Amino acid sequence: MNSFTDTELSTYQKDGFLVARSLFSEEEINLLGQTARSDNAMDQSSAARDDGQGNAVRLALWNHPGDGIYGMYARCHRIVDRVEQLLDDEAYHYHSKMVLKDAKVGGAWAWHQDYGYWYQNGVLFPNLCSVMIAVDKATEENGCMQVIKGSHHMGRINHILSGDQAGADMERVEEAKKHLDHIHVTMDPGDALFFHSNLLHSSAANESDHSRWAMICCYNAKSNNPYKDSHHPRYTKLEKVEDTKILQVGRNDASRAETQFADLNREDTSAKSLTEQSS
């Protein structure tokens, strides 16, 4: 069943995040990883950004899910049905991104809230949800996501540019750490982290010998349709697909991985936006 239990929903509402362990099988996640790492178009289109400490972080971003394996993940019932529970509304695809945190060179992401910058896109309410899918094992050593548990209840915090990243006001962040638990979210490949758009999160630089790649699918509620145009789309009906399509499309596309990212709608230049963050 593609749904959270009442207990899980309560946990999300209280903490602002929830980890669904082993949401995707070993074969499913291997196909995603193999495709992404063989995708020359994604590699060439990824944007490198300074983390404020002289380290580069790489991110590839696209607005429309498409019909390849990336789109099958973003459109599958296994994710979207759960997101709609959390939003209590029909969900549409706001954008997806691949975080390319490579061994030794993957920089940090400053403390931030996603709604800290999506607010500028004409989104009135923070009723958005992101889903991070672990492609590689995420550990403290290779820069896993860190969250401040329950910080989504604080509301939107001012964000200030540091390097190429817009980070949350650190005075507020440090004060929040005194009152709320600071958690390192370690994940195995195939785990998925669902988190609220106002949850404070960050990640340290990857100084280990192991990469930490992850795909993040972001969703907005239909009733929260932005009141103005921006580099991310207004409401667009999301056509869900059966979960079996991940393996079906993934296997079929394995031999043409280099074209996957190129096939996505790349009319916008959002991957180069300096105000867009990840983890």
pLDDT at 49: 65
CA distance 179 to 197: 20
Kindly state the tokens that stand for 233.
């789309």
CA distance 193 to 175: 25
Domains of the chain (ranges, CATH numbers): 6-272 (2.60.120.620)
CA distance 265 to 64: 6
Highest-scoring range by mean pLDDT, 152-166, 187-201, 262-276: 187-201
CA distance 200 to 16: 9
Whether residue 207 has pLDDT greater than 90: no
Angle at 193 between CA 170 and CA 173, to 5 degrees: 10
Kindly state the tokens that stand for 48.
């490198």
Which residues face 165 on adjacent strands? 162
* Cβ neighbours of residue 143 closer than 8 Å, sequence gap 6 or more: 101, 106, 108, 203, 204, 205, 206, 207, 208, 212
pLDDT at 181: 98
In this prediction, residue 269 has a pLDDT band, given cuts at 50, 70 and 90, of very low
Q: Which range has the worst mean pLDDT, 18-22, 36-40, 194-198, 235-239?
A: 36-40
Looking at every residue in the chain, the average pLDDT score rounds to 89
CA distance 73 to 78: 8
